[in-house]
Amino acid sequence: MVQGFIFDRADGGGRRVINWVEGAPHKAFWTVTKVPEDKCIPVGTFRCSVCGFLESYARPEFAVK
């Protein structure tokens, strides 16, 4: 397992796929966190249709196409 954090960047109230970023978040001057675009891995989540259990994975193939 590798430490990281979930990054949600919905500019202007839009909807986006969340991303996982390796390492600890670093505070930026104008924004809450500074995240290089090449470090973002999209997150896909699967839900059990019976019990509702959620399981998430950070994988490049979950990027918006």
Cα–Cα dist 53/34, whole Å: 31
Single pTM value for the model? 0.76
Q: Are 44 and 62 in contact (CB under 8 A)?
A: yes
What are the boundaries of each domain within the chain? 4-62
pLDDT digits (tens, 9 = 90+) for 15-63: 778 999 998 887 777 666 777 788 899 999 999 999 999 999 999 999 8
Q: Are 20 and 62 in contact (CB under 8 A)?
A: no
SS (H, E, C) the chain: CCCEEEECCCHHHCCCCCEEEECCCCCCCCCCCCCCHHHEEEEEEEECCCCCCEEEEECHHHCCC
